Amino acid sequence: MGLFSKTKKSKPAGMLGIEAGPQGIALAQVVRAAGARPMLPYCEHLEGSADAQAALLEKTVSERALQGLPANVLLHPSEYQMFLLEAPEVPPQELRDAMRWRIKDMISQSLDDVVIDCFALPEDAYRGRTRMVYCAVLEKTRMQHYAQLVRQAGLHMASIDITEMAFRNLGSLAGAEGMNLALLRLRTSEGLICIQNGADLYMARRIEQGLARAAQDLGSTTLEIQRSLDYFESQLGKGYINRLMLLPMKQDGERAYQGLASGLAVNLQRLDLRELFPGQPGAELSEAQQAFCIGAVGAALRQDAV
């Protein structure tokens, strides 16, 4: 499942994931064939300021003959708010409208100026005690900005998505079926840990301490991560975490991996696009390049957008 999706249409041959950030815009093309592992023929991070990104995207789409592809735009974490709230007793089709009024007093914007979408945690989360729902809040102006960006580039807007769901897609490809799999990304000032079982997302939690703090005190960052893992195991009733996968980093990846591996009570592995997409040209990237592109790849793996 993803968020902010358009009306469903016939399934296309490929999907383009797009994520814009402060340093540039990342593109990833995923192609699927029945019964085969997804292919990653193209993946790239285009360096450029926010003002230059529309032209960069349009130029690359033209040069790569990507026109007409459906695009799943991934929001940068700074562009949306996430809330974990109790789910009201309403039919699934009424959940979004019900949560709008619950969110009303938690945000500074008017409800008329935002788009809200929700996804409920699986029924067995929190040992079935309380149904919980994640709500994502996006300003309408940002949605309109990305719609124009995609349209100008000659692409078809399939959906706008959030990082938590893009990571869920990566975890599914990395082998989450039948096990508790966690994905961890550490950035300079913050991080994100997501835990799933199969295609079901059970927990998404921001890590307040990023790589800048870890460079000075990796122990405190490790402790915060371990507390999140312990919370999942003690509160959500799904047992222990089978694997924790560390996503690619722009710098200090090996140092962080070694430090976390020695301090965390979990099977820690590194996620590498070259292993997720063996032999694919789009996966032959350095770890730093993968760090810029990993979100776009997760977005391109989405299957229910169109």
Q: Which domains does the chain have, with CATH numbers?
A: 1-78+140-174+273-306 (3.30.420.40), 79-139 (3.30.420.380), 175-270 (3.30.420.40)
Residue 23 has pLDDT above 90, yes or no: yes
8/44 Cα distance (integer angstroms)? 27
Whole-angstrom CA distances from 43 to 46, 113, 193, 230 are 10, 34, 24, 35
How sure is the predictor about 1, in pLDDT bands with cuts at 50, 70 and 90?
very low
What lies within 8 Å, CB to CB, of 23 at 6+ separation is 47, 292
Strand pairing category for 132-139 and 114-120: antiparallel
Per the prediction, the chain carries an average pLDDT of 92
Q: Which one has a higher pLDDT value, 245 or 1?
A: 245
Q: Compute the C-alpha angle 54/56/57, nearest 5°.
A: 65
Q: Which value, in Å, is the radius of gyration of the alpha carbons in the chain? A: 19
How sure is the predictor about 151, in pLDDT bands with cuts at 50, 70 and 90?
very high
- Return the pLDDT at 2: 56
Whole-angstrom CA distances from 115 to 5, 7, 126, 269, 299 are 11, 16, 28, 36, 19
Average pLDDT of the residues in 5-20: 70
- Return the pLDDT at 111: 95
How sure is the predictor about 35, in pLDDT bands with cuts at 50, 70 and 90?
confident
Residue 8 has pLDDT above 60, yes or no: no
Whole-angstrom CA distances from 257 to 134, 260, 293 are 29, 5, 19
Give per-residue pLDDT as tens, 38-52.
999 999 999 999 999
Instruction: Answer yes or no: are the C-beta atoms of 225 and 264 closer than 8 Å.
Output: yes
Give per-residue pLDDT as tens, 93-121.
899 999 998 999 999 999 999 999 999 99
Residue 59 has pLDDT above 70, yes or no: yes
How sure is the predictor about 286, in pLDDT bands with cuts at 50, 70 and 90?
very high
16/157 Cα distance (integer angstroms)? 10
- Return the pLDDT at 12: 39
Phi, psi (deg, nearest 5) at residue 71: -120, 135
Closest CA to 30 of 40, 21, 44: 40
- Return the pLDDT at 9: 45
Residue 10 has pLDDT above 60, yes or no: no
Q: Compute the C-alpha angle 50/152/20, nearest 5°.
A: 30
Residue 65 has pLDDT above 70, yes or no: yes
225/247 Cα distance (integer angstroms)? 14
- Return the pLDDT at 7: 44
- Return the pLDDT at 270: 97
How sure is the predictor about 13, in pLDDT bands with cuts at 50, 70 and 90?
low
Instruction: Answer yes or no: are the C-beta atoms of 37 and 283 closer than 8 Å.
Output: no
Phi, psi (deg, nearest 5) at residue 67: -55, 140
Helix, strand and coil in the chain, % to nearest 5: 40, 30, 30
Give per-residue pLDDT as tens, 163-188.
999 999 999 999 999 999 999 999 88
The SS3 assignment for 238 reads coil
Closest CA to 4 of 193, 150, 185: 150
Average pLDDT of the residues in 4-20: 69
